[in-house]
Amino acid sequence: MHTLVLRRGKSESLSRRHPWIFSGALKPLPDDLKEGEVVRVVSSDGEYLATGHWQIGSIAVRVLSFDDEAIDYAFWHRCLSAAVGLRRTLRLFGESANTACRLVHGEGDGLPGLVIDLYGATAVVQAHSIGMHYARHDIARALTEMDGLYINNVYYKSATTLPEKATLEGEREGFLLKKADVEDVAIENGLRFRIDYLGGQKTGFFVDQRDNRNLVEKYARGRRVLNMFCYTGGFSVYALRGGARHVTSVDSSEAAVALVRENVALNFPEAQNHEAVACDAFRYLADNGKDYDLIILDPPAFAKRVSALKNALKGYTRLNAAAMAQLPPGGLLFTFSCSQAVSPHDFRLAVFTAAARTGRRVRILHQLHQPADHPISIYHPEGEYLKGLVLEVE
Ligand code: SAH
């Protein structure tokens, strides 16, 4: 194992358990360092600081441990057991009303670069770092050995999350383990959703909106609901169960529109009050926004990195203004941002600007977040990525 040395004065964030080491903080690297390998990191005085995965790029080391320990099978087993323990505390297992949850949420579970979602007995593993790519077989094996958790399939889905340019050994996508037919329907709060492991975005479903979808259900009764950026239609299905008068699901992707139709049919085969439209969100809002009194805006991340922040905030303002301008008095707006680079404060400012631009009286009813199975390490506030506001427009 190689040892990397920090430059003098660069150890403060590590001593506060921040899990990233930036490339500029490191002294020149050994020539034979292999991307993805586990490294020990020491201070310029030779004092042990952390162990993690090294990778080319601005985040050079993703810290796995602040103890001088081996990153072996026992390590993965222990970390995954801890992640399972938290979800058990959150009562996300063993209830037939919920078979989907996030089992590992990167830094929030002390495992930067790793995301695992569970859909029944199938785990979908996503590596965001090369080190996690090389650890994937140990992770898959450990997943099958968790006490009280029965996993019989592990699908690896990292084609879009690993650095494109890296030359890697092994496939970026495919089954790591397949003992049974894949159950491709997940249950969330008693509702059924088809999970598209192979073709879908992220791990096939957005489990992070579970609690916020519940809230849409609560307010949907009698309303005409517009679910913008609907993807697999999570919010739409909840709104239908909540007694919405009518629900329209809009996404620019035809594949998403097909999925939302399938999910509505799976839960409400007789529903006559749902339609799904493949259309650009801005165009749909401008042409038809006036027909709705509850609008959900859950766009893709407008800022994938900090350098894109300014334009992203303008995008959020434009989108929210377009929706606010159309809502009738008493209309509700559920608006979200899943950009990690956009802080809750920035997002609120963008929405505030939209309100001021439309001149409407707007009140904040709820402030929404990611659910508890997407925990945020207090030492890594960047992990707070999902932000939402429920607004009433007078
Ligand atoms: N609300 C969804 C997740 C949204 S993901 C859920 O609860 O599961 C973002 C979606 O926005 C993607 O499906 C993408 O196809 C869609 N999208 C991206 N740009 C768009 C645009 N300009 N107009 C409409 N949809 C768009």
Q: Say what percent of the chain tops pLDDT 90.
A: 90
Q: Is 298 in the pocket of ligand 1 (CB under 6 A)?
A: yes
Q: Is 307 in the pocket of ligand 1 (CB under 6 A)?
A: no
Q: Is 235 in the pocket of ligand 1 (CB under 6 A)?
A: yes
| 154 CB-contact burial (10 Å; exposed 0-12 / middle 13-18 / buried 19+) | buried
Beta-carbon contacts of residue 15 (< 8 Å; ≥ 6 apart)? 49
Mean pLDDT of 250-255: 96
The residue nearest atom 15 of ligand 1, judged by CA position, is 253
Mean pLDDT of 323-345: 96
Report the 10 Å Cβ neighbour count for 206: 20
196, pLDDT greater than 90: no
Which of these, 332, 333, 347, lies nearest to 386 by C-alpha position? 347
Q: Is 337 in the pocket of ligand 1 (CB under 6 A)?
A: no
Q: Which of 252, 338, 368 to mutate to test the pocket of ligand 1 (most atoms within 8 A of CB)?
A: 252
Q: Say what percent of the chain tops pLDDT 70.
A: 100
Bridge-based pairing of strands 173-178 and 153-157 is antiparallel
16, pLDDT greater than 80: yes
Q: What strand order describes the sheet that includes 20-22?
A: 2-5, 38-42, 48-54, 59-65, 20-22
**pLDDT tens readout for residues 25-81:** 999 999 999 999 999 999 999 999 999 999 999 999 999 999 999 999 999 999 999
The residue nearest atom 20 of ligand 1, judged by CA position, is 252
Q: How far apart are CA 200 and CA 197, in angstroms?
A: 6
Q: What does the pLDDT read at residue 305?
A: 76
304, pLDDT greater than 80: no
Supply the DSSP string of 69-107, one letter for each residue: ---SHHHHHHHHHHHHHHHHHTT-SS-TT--EEEEEEGG
**What's the DSSP call for residue 29?**
P
* Band of pLDDT at residue 126, cut at 50, 70 and 90: very high
Residue 293's beta-bridge partner residues?
none
The mean predicted confidence, pLDDT, of the chain is: 95
Residue pair 87/117 in contact by the 8 Å Cβ criterion: no
Which of these, 74, 36, 28, 29, lies nearest to 52 by C-alpha position? 36
The distance of Cα 146 from the centroid of its chain, to the nearest Å, equals 23
Q: What does the pLDDT read at residue 324?
A: 98
Q: How far apart are CA 97 and CA 191, in angstroms?
A: 8
Enumerate the active-site residues: 338
The residue nearest atom 11 of ligand 1, judged by CA position, is 229
Beta-carbon contacts of residue 322 (< 8 Å; ≥ 6 apart)? 282, 285, 286, 289
Residue 280: both structure tokens together: 């650009």
* Band of pLDDT at residue 180, cut at 50, 70 and 90: confident
Q: Phi first, then psi: what are they for 81, rounded to 5°? A: -60, -40
* Band of pLDDT at residue 236, cut at 50, 70 and 90: very high
How many residues would you count in the chain? 394
Q: What does the pLDDT read at residue 167?
A: 87
Q: How far apart are CA 147 and CA 130, in angstroms?
A: 28
* Band of pLDDT at residue 201, cut at 50, 70 and 90: confident
Report the 10 Å Cβ neighbour count for 243: 11
| Spacing, Cα 200 to ligand 1 middle (Å) | 12
Q: What does the pLDDT read at residue 73?
A: 98
Residue pair 101/122 in contact by the 8 Å Cβ criterion: no
Q: Is 281 in the pocket of ligand 1 (CB under 6 A)?
A: yes
**What's the DSSP call for residue 26?**
B
Q: Is 253 in the pocket of ligand 1 (CB under 6 A)?
A: yes
Q: Is 51 in the pocket of ligand 1 (CB under 6 A)?
A: no
Residue 26's beta-bridge partner residues?
6
Residue pair 87/101 in contact by the 8 Å Cβ criterion: yes
Residue 46: both structure tokens together: 């030779």
Q: Which atom of ligand 1 is nearest to the CA of 213?
A: 7
* Band of pLDDT at residue 107, cut at 50, 70 and 90: very high
The residue nearest atom 12 of ligand 1, judged by CA position, is 231
The residue nearest atom 1 of ligand 1, judged by CA position, is 230
* Band of pLDDT at residue 356, cut at 50, 70 and 90: very high
| Spacing, Cα 209 to ligand 1 middle (Å) | 13
Mean pLDDT of 161-184: 90
200, pLDDT greater than 90: no
Quick one: CA torsion of 363, 328, 235, 160, rounded to 10 degrees? -80
140, pLDDT greater than 90: yes
| Spacing, Cα 360 to ligand 1 middle (Å) | 26
| Spacing, Cα 232 to ligand 1 middle (Å) | 9
182, pLDDT greater than 90: no
Mean pLDDT of 308-337: 96
Q: Which atom of ligand 1 is nearest to the CA of 251?
A: 25
Report the 10 Å Cβ neighbour count for 32: 7
Residue pair 86/109 in contact by the 8 Å Cβ criterion: yes
Q: Is 234 in the pocket of ligand 1 (CB under 6 A)?
A: yes
Q: Is 231 in the pocket of ligand 1 (CB under 6 A)?
A: yes
| Spacing, Cα 380 to ligand 1 middle (Å) | 27
Q: Which atom of ligand 1 is nearest to the CA of 235?
A: 7
